[in-house]
Structures are given as structure tokens and as C-alpha cells.
């Protein structure tokens, strides 16, 4: 469950996740060398998942799909630009590749195959429609809140499938009630359940942050049913997302884990975007929160026979730009997010939900 932010609810715009109104552009992790035995393709696609695109290219080139490298999976319901790699010896066959949904924009040589995670982040270009009158002012106000406060790093609906029930299948696999032979599918469904637990924990922490703005520490502890003193230090924090002693933090946008001991000190660093709190992806070898933070994390810990980790709970959209086209009632918006983060988190805050 997601909870309302301290903004006016804005349902006065329409957003259609399509190639005309939603563009995602991958930001590479590094510059490509221009030499080597691999060929990096800058590819634009629409109405296809990354895997569907890879399968079409692999079939045309006569190679195994595993021979094509990619940094991240991109949305089907968008116009997306990303980089993939093949062995350069297949370059000649590319000249005859023709697909109405896939366009190769450019090619360059590189020394190695692109691996999953080899990207800095993504740039999103979004067109909101039917933005009339006061709706524009609401969007402007919400964007200012986002610039100042950031957004929660929920997993998006893509992780949970069309019916939204992937995590239930993942739970059945974990409980031994469902057998899936395909290893990649099995791992994906388990990760959906890990993501569900993360989202549920994050909703609880957002709820605490909202309560902290309206009630005393003691009242918050009573509402959430925890021991007195658990939420020590939540009052007076300038950041919307309230930190607790024992939270696991990381330097932002990448870095090593460390534990919050002095809430006031780390809250000040959080406000400068030097660090950000993390949430648990339950599983083997995962680091858990301690002290007060563990009280709200414990209900979402489950014994999952898969690798666990931690994920940023709070992120910031960068390079935010906006343009209002009055004659069309369109509100055009663009921003960048770190890798693994979803544009829907920004849209949810714009809606106030």
C-alpha cells in the first residue's frame, strides 16, 4: 500500500504509457573505447521488451540470445534507447536487418561485452495530457517538493506482472508449493516476492514519516504499536523520510553500507544527499537493520533461499526540466534517475499517491 504525501492530490492529468508519450534513454556507465572485438549497438525500440528485441536480433544474426549483452531491461510500453553488444564479426549481417519496431541508431567498437548493470541510470521524457488551469500549478508545486525532498524507491508494477500476482507465485516457489523448471523465470518470480516485501516495508516507513509530521514521538509509537523510545530522534529531522537508529545507509548514489548510530548527524548528511537509507531484499547473506530500525524491518524478513541484498529506499530525480504547451494542454517533463529506479515513483508523487 502506498500512502499520500503532504501534497494536494492531483488526478487532473492523463498519462499514457506509450511510445508517443514515454521515452526512456539509457545512460551508459562509461564511454565505449572505439576498438576491440565487440560491437556496441545503440538501439531504439518500441512495443517490445528488451528480451523480445534481443530474440529478433539473435534470430537474424543466427546467434544464441546469450551472446548479446545488455545493461538493463527496458519497458515495453515506451520508446526506449539502450545499448547492447554483439561480437564484431557479425557486423556485416546487421546491414540487412530491418524491423519496424527496432532501429539501430549507431555502432561502435568496444573491448568487452556489455554486462547487466553497466549503466549509470536512465533519462525519462514524459508527456502528461489534459493539464488544464490549476492542474499546471499543482504539478509545478509537486515538482518543487520532489526537487527538495526526493522520492521513495518503490519497485514498479513491471516487476509484478500484468495481473500483479508475480510475487504470489514467488511465495509459492519459496514455500515449495510451485515448481518452475526455467531457472531465470524461477529467479524472477522469487525476486518479485523480495520486491513485494521491500515495498511493504517502505510503505510502513513512509507512514511513519507522515505521522512524524503530525504527532509527537510518543503518539507515533502508540499508533504503530512499538515500545516507548523506539522512534527517538524522529522529531526535528528536516528530511521527509525519517531516519531511525540502526538504519543501514549507503553513500549516494553508490557506496558501502554503514549503520546509523547518531540519528541527528546522519540526518544532516541525508539532507545534503551524501547518503541515503536502504531497505532489505530478504534473502541469504543480506545485512539487516539493528536497534530501532530493526523493529520496523523484522515483520518483512523471511527465510528465502536466494541471495538477499539492500536497495536504496530513497532517491532523487536529477536534471528536472518542464515545459507547458498551453494550446495542447500538455505538460512535458524530463528527469534522470539512477539505474534500477522507476519513473512511476515520480509520477506517483505528482499524483500525491
Task: Quick: pLDDT tens for 298-331.
Answer: 999 999 999 999 999 999 999 999 999 999 999 9
Average pLDDT over residues 141-145: 94
Is the Cβ–Cβ distance between 200 and 260 less than 8 Å? no
Alpha helices in 290-353 (DSSP H): 291-297, 344-351
pLDDT tens figures, 49-97: 999 999 999 999 999 999 999 998 898 989 999 999 999 999 999 989 9
Alpha carbons 28 and 31: distance in angstroms, whole number: 7
The full set of domains in the chain, from first to last, is 30-117 (3.30.2350.20), 152-315 (3.30.2340.10)
Which residues share a beta bridge with 336? 123, 318
**Half-sphere CA count of 197, side-chain side, radius 13 A:** 25
pLDDT at 11: 58
pLDDT at 12: 72
- Is 163 or 142 the better-scoring residue by pLDDT? 142
Is the Cβ–Cβ distance between 71 and 117 less than 8 Å? yes
Q: Which of 252, 255, 232 is nearest to 243 (CA)?
A: 232
Model confidence at 243, pLDDT cuts 50, 70, 90, reads: very high
Spatial neighbors of 297 by CB under 8 A, at least 6 apart, are: 201, 279, 280, 288, 289
pLDDT at 353: 55
Which residue among the candidates 21, 75, 137, 165 is catalytic per the annotation?
75
Stated pTM of the model: 0.88
**Res. 1: pLDDT tops 70:** no
- Is 351 or 218 the better-scoring residue by pLDDT? 218
Within 10 angstroms of residue 152's Cβ, the number of other Cβ atoms is 23
Percent of the chain with pLDDT over 90: 84
pLDDT at 183: 87
Alpha carbons 194 and 187: distance in angstroms, whole number: 10
* Mean per-residue pLDDT over the chain, rounded: 92
Active site residue 75: yes
Q: Which of 186, 163, 164, 184 is nearest to 176 (CA)?
A: 186
Is the Cβ–Cβ distance between 279 and 202 less than 8 Å? yes
b/e per residue 186-216 (b: at least 16 CB within 10 A): bebbbbbbbbbbbbebbebbbbbbbbbeeee
Q: How far from chain centre, in Å, is Cα 39? A: 28
pLDDT at 63: 95
Alpha carbons 109 and 333: distance in angstroms, whole number: 33
Amino acid at each position: 500500500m502506498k500512502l499520500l504525501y503532504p501534497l494536494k492530490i492531483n488526478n487532473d492529468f492523463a498519462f499514457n504509457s506509450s511510445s508517443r508519450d514515454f521515452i526512456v534513454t539509457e545512460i551508459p556507465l562509461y564511454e565505449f573505447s572505439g576498438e576491440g572485438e565487440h560491437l556496441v549497438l545503440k538501439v531504439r525500440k518500441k512495443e517490445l521488451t528488451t528480451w523480445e528485441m534481443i530474440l529478433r536480433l539473435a534470430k537474424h544474426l543466427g546467434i544464441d540470445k546469450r551472446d548479446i549483452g545488455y545493461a538493463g531491461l527496458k519497458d515495453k510500453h515506451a520508446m526506449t534507447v539502450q545499448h547492447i553488444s554483439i561480437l564484431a564479426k557479425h557486423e556485416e549481417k546487421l546491414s540487412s536487418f530491418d524491423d519496424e519496431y527496432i532501429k539501430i541508431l549507431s555502432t561502435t567498437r568496444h573491448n568487452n561485452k556489455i554486462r547487466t548493470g553497466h549503466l549509470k541510470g536512465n533519462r525519462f521524457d514524459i508527456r502528461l495530457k489534459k493539464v488544464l488551469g490549476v492542474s499546471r500549478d499543482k504539478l509545478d508545486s509537486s515538482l518543487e517538493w520532489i526537487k527538495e525532498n526526493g522520492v521513495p524507491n518503490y519497485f514498479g508494477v513491471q516487476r509484478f506482472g500484468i495481473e500483479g500476482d508475480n510475487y504470489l507465485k514467488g511465495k509459492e516457489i519459496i514455500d515449495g508449493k510451485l515448481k518452475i523448471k526455467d531457472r531465470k523465470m524461477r529467479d524472477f518470480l522469487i525476486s518479485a516476492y523480495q520486491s513485494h516485501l521491500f515495498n511493504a516495508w517502505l510503505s510502513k516507513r513512509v507512514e511513519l514519516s507522515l505521522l512524524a509530521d503530525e504527532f509527537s514521538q510518543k503518539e507515533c509509537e502508540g499508533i504503530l504499536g512499538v515500545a516507548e523510545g523506539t522512534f527517538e530522534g524522529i522529531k526535528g529531522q528536516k528530511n521527509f523520510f525519517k531516519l531511525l537508529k540502526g538504519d543501514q545507509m549507503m553513500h549516494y548514489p553508490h557506496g558501502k553500507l554503514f549503520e546509523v548510530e547518531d540519528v541527528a548527524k546522519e540526518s544532516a548528511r541525508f539532507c545534503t544527499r551524501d547518503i541515503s537509507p536502504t531497505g532489505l531484499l530478504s534473502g541469504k547473506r543480506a545485512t539487516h537493520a539493528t536497534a530501532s530500525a530493526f523493529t520496523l524491518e523484522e515483520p518483512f524478513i523471511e527465510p528465502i533461499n536466494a541471495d538477499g541484498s539492500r536497495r536504496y529506499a530513497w532517491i532523487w530525480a536529477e536534471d528536472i526540466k518542464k515545459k507547458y504547451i498551453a494550446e495542447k494542454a500538455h505538460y512535458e517533463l524530463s528527469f534522470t534517475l539512477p539505474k534500477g529506479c522507476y519513473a512511476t515513483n515520480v509520477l506517483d508523487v505528482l499524483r500525491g499517491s
